[in-house]
Amino acid sequence: MIGEEQYELIERYHQGELTEDERQNLEQRIGQDPEMQKLSRQIKALIDVSRVNRLDEAMNTLKSIEKQTKEKTKGPQPAKPRQLKWLIPLAAAIAAFALIYNFLLARPQLDPLYAEHIELLPSRSEKAVTDDILDEAYSLYSFQKYRKAARLFNQAVEAGKSKENLIYAASAYMELRQFNKANTILESLESESTIYTEVSRLQALAILQLQGREAAKTYLDRRYQNRQIHPDLQDLFDDLSK
Amino acid sequence: MLDRIRSGDDEIFRKIYGEYRQSFIGWIYQKYGSQEDDAIEIFQQAIVIMYDNVVTGKLTELTSSLKTYLFAIGRNLALEKIRKDGKKASLPDIIKQHIEDDGIVKDEMFEKAQKALEKLGEPCKGMIEQSFYNRLSSDELAILFGYKNADTAKSKKHKCLKKLRDILNNDDSTPNDD
């Protein structure tokens, strides 16, 4: 006859709460007693089912919170106006605009490898930069105001600042998914030795987005023709070679 | 905080949801170019996985902030989603994968236990689930289900388990109708 104690013991066994001695004793009993064996399988299945059910429940709770959040943001619906005919051409114009926008201007679909390997340059806010324009550019970059940041990096370099700063402009354009602009800047930085690896990674990824994996791999091959590829780029290179 | 997550308290889900929804969705959109609906789904999945990690003891203490932890799960989910055809690796698939990684197999016994638990009904079903999954103590069960004290809750849980086992054993001896 199986009593409360056995139930509890088996439950604690499957929850990993028994001491080594208790566990060994119980396993021996389970091995010898078919009834205990059956109970053990049943309790294990109940623990698994409880987990699946509770996760489903959590998901439903979150969906209902999301629904409430959206309803709250929407607020009360305005009263329906009597005459709506003038809305039809307006709605058609908005739909046409949305279509054109999506077709021409929407952010391009990313290659999975791009998302996996992109590492935007870190913000340099903690680094002292004594130049006004560069200060402003780095600050905008760290606040993810990429468009303005890229413009200011370009201006700073035109005004005679180190060309290496342009890699941040390229990184900003990458984030804006403007891969052509990023690529053009990176081409101008190809020979900068101090930022060779960063330029290689960003440009390989820009080429990946613009021309595909084969072209990105060829680019890295060309960059590292006579040398060992940099260890930081090895994963990317391997993924491109698959 | 982790204790409240472990107990599966709705209020804590609400708090986490409200606190991080905006920044999480904005971040997923910025970094991975996901549409809003996808980003919301990833956010919800990340919370469920974090919850499961706390309950199953994979996350016992936070070495970084809860936000960092949640975003790290979100990053993996977003990449997973992009990997699987760019968009449509659905939630059930991802959660299913998450629990299968822990060795849960939906075999015949699992199906039987699921049916038996449904048949058992409330409050037994909730009590067993909260006890087996969230590992609520008899004291916590007494408070949650309104029993006089821990002993009453413990005895009620045992009765529920016995009833459940009767259903399962009965099911074993009933010939299949199919």
Q: What is the mean pLDDT of chain A?
A: 80
At residue A205 the predicted structure's pLDDT band, cuts being 50, 70 and 90, is: very high
Cβ-based contacts of B132 with chain A (< 8 Å)? 11, 46-47, 50-51
Task: Flag if A66 and B91 touch (Cβ within 8 Å).
Answer: no
Closest CA to B5 of B42, B43, B44, B60: B60
Distant-in-sequence, close-in-space partners of A147: CB < 8 Å, separation ≥ 6: A172, A176
Collapsing DSSP to helix, strand or coil, B133 comes out as coil
User: For A20-29, A62-71, B31-40, which range has the lowest pLDDT when averaged over its residues?
Assistant: B31-40
Task: Reduce the secondary structure of chain A to three states and give it as a string.
Answer: CCCHHHHHHHHHHHCCCCCHHHHHHHHHHHHHCHHHHHHHHHHHHHHHHHHHHHHHHHHHHHHHHHHHHHHHHHCCCCCCCCCCCCHHHHHHHHHHHHHHHHHHHCCCCCCHHHHHHCCCCCCCCCCCCCCHHHHHHHHHHHCCCHHHHHHHHHHHHHCCCCHHHHHHHHHHHHHCCCHHHHHHHHHHCCCCHHHHHHHHHHHHHHHHHHHCHHHHHHHHHHHCCCCCCCHHHHHHHHHHHC
Are residues B2 and B61 in contact, defined by beta-carbon separation less than 8 angstroms?
A: yes
pLDDT at A207 over 90: yes
B68 shares contact with chain A (CB less than 8 Å): no
Distance from chain centroid for Cα A183: 22
Task: Flag if B13 and A52 touch (Cβ within 8 Å).
Answer: no
At residue A144 the predicted structure's pLDDT band, cuts being 50, 70 and 90, is: confident
Cβ-based contacts of A209 with chain B (< 8 Å)? none
User: Testing the interface with B: which of A14, A49, A60, A68 to mutate, by most B Cβ within 10 A?
Assistant: A49
Residue B109 — φ and ψ, nearest 5°? -65, -40
pLDDT at A64 over 90: no
Within 10 angstroms of residue A200's Cβ, the number of other Cβ atoms is 22
B160 shares contact with chain A (CB less than 8 Å): no
| Average confidence (pLDDT) over A75-93 | 64
Cα separation, A45 vs A43, whole angstroms: 5
pLDDT at A76 over 60: no
Task: Flag if B17 and A65 touch (Cβ within 8 Å).
Answer: yes
Distant-in-sequence, close-in-space partners of B154: CB < 8 Å, separation ≥ 6: B138, B141
Taking the CA of residue B142 and the nearest CA in chain A, the distance in Å comes to: 17
B150 shares contact with chain A (CB less than 8 Å): no
Cβ-based contacts of A116 with chain B (< 8 Å)? 79
* B79 vs A15, A62, A116: nearest CB: A116
Closest CA to A176 of A214, A200, A206: A206
Q: Which of residues A193 and A186 earns the better pLDDT score?
A: A186
Cα separation, B156 vs B4, whole angstroms: 24
pLDDT at A84 over 50: yes
Taking the CA of residue B145 and the nearest CA in chain A, the distance in Å comes to: 16
| pLDDT tens figures, A112-142 | 777 777 766 665 543 444 567 777 787 777 7
Residue A84 — φ and ψ, nearest 5°? -115, 5
CB pairs under 8 A between A and B: 107
pTM comes to 0.54
Taking the CA of residue B32 and the nearest CA in chain A, the distance in Å comes to: 6
* B132 vs A4, A46, A69: nearest CB: A46
* A53 vs B48, B112, B129: nearest CB: B129
Six-digit token string for A163: 């060309």
| Average confidence (pLDDT) over A48-69 | 83
| Total number of residues shown for chain A | 242
Task: Flag if A49 and B114 touch (Cβ within 8 Å).
Answer: yes
Task: Flag if B44 and A177 touch (Cβ within 8 Å).
Answer: no
| Average confidence (pLDDT) over A40-48 | 88
Taking the CA of residue B177 and the nearest CA in chain A, the distance in Å comes to: 22
Within 10 angstroms of residue B172's Cβ, the number of other Cβ atoms is 10
B149 shares contact with chain A (CB less than 8 Å): no
At residue A7 the predicted structure's pLDDT band, cuts being 50, 70 and 90, is: confident
pLDDT at A145 over 60: yes
Q: What is the mean pLDDT of each run of 10 residues along chain B (178 residues)?
A: 79 86 82 76 88 83 79 82 59 67 77 87 87 86 84 88 86 51
Taking the CA of residue A51 and the nearest CA in chain B, the distance in Å comes to: 5
**DSSP helix, strand, coil percent of chain B (3-state; round to 5):** 75, 0, 25
User: Testing the interface with A: which of B108, B129, B134 to mutate, by most A Cβ within 10 A?
Assistant: B129
| pLDDT tens figures, A90-112 | 888 888 877 776 655 555 677 77
pLDDT at B137: 85
A66 shares contact with chain B (CB less than 8 Å): yes
